[in-house]
């Protein structure tokens, strides 16, 4: 068997131990005589699986008890509409525009309320995260994208928002570094980058932001669809309808694996080490250069270009790089068309050896092609 190092922006690599465990439990999970894929989500067999996944996530992230954890579907993309639908009161929200995903969140929010884009890094093709110390004003909430998957940037520090709930799309860096959950009203993340296979979206929401007939915050307008209301899912423990059972199960295995291997402190150190190996090489290279500004560099997504100025020649070189890398077992390194060049996504479960192998390959490539 030849496993490759997958540098895709998502879905991404999972720990090999987790894949082996899932394989071993494929036909019979916990002596139930069935696969998790076959279990009723309301059965005694599945209950402890979803409960443990939630408990481990709470423990690893230090989620305070006044927050609910929801396992939803529709990806982070559906949260672009659920957030404004559920938080809209006065009808105005503040967004910071740091790239494509922020842009999509803004576009969707504009269907429901008026958006103030209070800062943007569009002027430099999103190569940095604008510094915003504080957000003030009459806003239902403020929205940030903690890590910008396409442009390879992240916040060094989040803005202070006082009483304005801060909402964060953390799809591409959740659980990669410490995050003070209590600073946020909502954190949401599609699971397929750092947590699990695709199909499940984690929403961490402060209880006082959940609206419904049984909630202190009061009810929502009647035209918010049942499936798009946070209270629907919070009241039913993510079991209003069938949750993505298998993805929740694998997330549980991933989180358990992380816990056994030193939890957040260990993965933080590992992620910083991996990123350093790659950025150190890129900074020293006369052939490649990283695109993101230093203070805003992502630990998860590293876009880089060759220094070749002629567009056609650069394109040909990129193609050659991506093809030769794939032959060497380093796959999915093509850059996003909005940045060009290459992008190495090095999420939580990309082994350090994978990053070392990439740098070794790049050194060879540089020597042969510079
Ligand atoms: C991947 C990604 C998304 C989209 O997630 P889906 O689960 O595919 O909807 C949204 N935001 C960010 C920051 C992402 O990286």
Long-range contacts of 322-325 (CB under 8 A, 24+ apart): 324/361, 324/365, 325/358, 325/361, 325/365
Ligand 1 atom 8: the closest Cα is on which residue?
75
**Residue 150 CA, closest ligand 1 atom number:** 15
Tokens standing for residue 97: 């525009």
Task: Please report, in tens digits, the pLDDT of each residue of the chain (370 residues total).
Answer: 789 999 999 999 999 999 999 999 999 999 999 999 999 999 999 999 999 999 999 999 999 999 999 999 999 999 999 999 999 999 999 999 999 999 999 999 999 999 999 999 999 999 999 999 999 999 999 999 999 999 999 999 999 999 999 999 999 999 999 999 999 999 999 999 999 999 999 999 999 999 999 999 999 999 999 999 999 999 999 999 999 999 999 999 999 999 999 999 999 999 999 999 999 999 999 999 999 999 999 999 999 999 999 999 999 999 999 999 999 999 999 999 999 999 999 999 999 999 999 999 999 999 999 8
Report how far apart the first and last C-alpha atoms of the chain are (Å, whole number).
34
- d(CA 151, CA 127) in angstroms, rounded, equals 6
Q: Which of 97, 140, 169, 231 is catalytic?
A: 169
Whether 53 contacts 249, CB under 8 Å: yes
**Residue 149 CA, closest ligand 1 atom number:** 15
Instruction: Please indicate whether residue 169 is annotated as part of the active site.
Output: yes
Confidence (pLDDT) at 1? 77
Q: Which of 68, 88, 154, 193 is catalytic?
A: 193
Confidence (pLDDT) at 328? 97
Query: Ligand 1 center to residue 172 CA distance, Å?
Result: 7
Best probe residue, ligand 1, of 78, 79, 80, 101 (max atoms within 8 Å of C-beta): 101
- d(CA 9, CA 149) in angstroms, rounded, equals 7
Query: Using a 6 Å cutoff on CB, does residue 127 contact ligand 1?
Result: no
Instruction: Please indicate whether residue 193 is annotated as part of the active site.
Output: yes
Whether 345 contacts 300, CB under 8 Å: yes
Query: Ligand 1 center to residue 155 CA distance, Å?
Result: 17
Confidence (pLDDT) at 210? 98
Query: Ligand 1 center to residue 107 CA distance, Å?
Result: 14
288-290 sheet: strands from edge to edge: 288-290, 301-306, 342-345
Confidence (pLDDT) at 366? 97
- d(CA 124, CA 166) in angstroms, rounded, equals 25
Query: Using a 6 Å cutoff on CB, does residue 140 contact ligand 1?
Result: no
Q: Which domains does the chain have, with CATH numbers?
A: 25-260 (3.40.640.10), 261-369 (3.90.1150.10)
Best probe residue, ligand 1, of 71, 153, 168, 171 (max atoms within 8 Å of C-beta): 171
Whether 33 contacts 43, CB under 8 Å: no
Q: Which of 253, 255, 267, 261 is nearest to 178 (CA)?
A: 267
Q: Is 306 helix (H, G, I), strand (E, B) or coil?
A: strand
**Residue 10 CA, closest ligand 1 atom number:** 1
Instruction: Please indicate whether residue 97 is annotated as part of the active site.
Output: no
Q: Which of 84, 125, 58, 74 is nearest to 247 (CA)?
A: 74
Confidence (pLDDT) at 62? 98
Query: Using a 6 Å cutoff on CB, does residue 149 contact ligand 1?
Result: yes
Q: Which of 210, 190, 193 is nearest to 201 (CA)?
A: 190
Query: Ligand 1 center to residue 193 CA distance, Å?
Result: 9
**Residue 78 CA, closest ligand 1 atom number:** 9
Long-range contacts of 232-241 (CB under 8 A, 24+ apart): 233/70, 233/72, 233/203, 234/68, 234/70, 234/205, 234/207, 234/210, 237/50, 238/50, 238/70, 238/71, 238/72, 239/41, 239/42, 239/50
Query: Ligand 1 center to residue 177 CA distance, Å?
Result: 18
- d(CA 75, CA 136) in angstroms, rounded, equals 30
Confidence (pLDDT) at 207? 98
């Amino acid at each position: 068997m030849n496993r490759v190092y997958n540098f895709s922006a998502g879905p991404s690599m999972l720990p090999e131990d987790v894949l082996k465990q899932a394989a071993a439990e494929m036909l019979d999970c916990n002596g139930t005589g069935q696969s998790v894929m076959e279990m009723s989500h309301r059965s005694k067999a599945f209950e402890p699986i979803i409960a443990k996944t939630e408990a481990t996530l709470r423990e690893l992230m230090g989620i305070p008890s006044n927050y609910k954890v929801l396992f939803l579907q529709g990806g982070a993309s559906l949260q672009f509409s659920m957030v404004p639908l559920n938080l809209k009161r006065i009808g105005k929200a503040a967004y910071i525009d740091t790239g494509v995903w922020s842009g999509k969140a803004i576009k969707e929010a504009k269907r429901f309320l008026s958006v103030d884009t209070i800062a943007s890094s569009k002027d430099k093709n999103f190569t940095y995260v604008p510094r915003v110390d504080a957000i003030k004003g009459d806003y239902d909430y403020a929205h940030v994208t903690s890590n910008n998957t396409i442009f390879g940037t992240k916040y060094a520090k989040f803005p202070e928002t006082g009483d304005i709930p801060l909402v964060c799309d953390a799809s591409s860096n959740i659980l990669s570094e410490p995050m003070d959950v209590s600073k946020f009203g909502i954190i949401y993340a599609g699971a397929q980058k750092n947590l699990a296979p695709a199909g499940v979206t984690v929403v961490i929401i402060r209880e006082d932001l959940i609206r419904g007939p049984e909630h202190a915050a009061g009810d929502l307008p009647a035209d918010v669809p049942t499936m798009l209301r946070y209270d629907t899912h919070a009241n039913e423990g993510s079991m209003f309808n069938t949750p993505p059972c298998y993805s929740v199960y694998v997330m549980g295995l991933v989180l358990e694996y992380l816990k056994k291997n030193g939890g957040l402190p260990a993965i933080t150190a590992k992620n910083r080490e991996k990123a350093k190996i790659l950025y150190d090489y890129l900074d020293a290279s006369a052939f490649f250069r990283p695109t993101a500004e230093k203070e805003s560099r992502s630990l998860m997504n590293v876009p880089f270009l060759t220094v070749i100025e002629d567009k056609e020649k650069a394109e040909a070189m990129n193609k050659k790089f991506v093809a030769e890398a794939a032959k060497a077992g380093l796959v999915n390194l093509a850059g996003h068309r909005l940045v060009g060049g290459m992008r190495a996504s090095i999420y939580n479960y990309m082994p350090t050896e994978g990053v070392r192998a990439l740098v070794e390959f790049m050194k060879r490539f540089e020597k042969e092609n510079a």
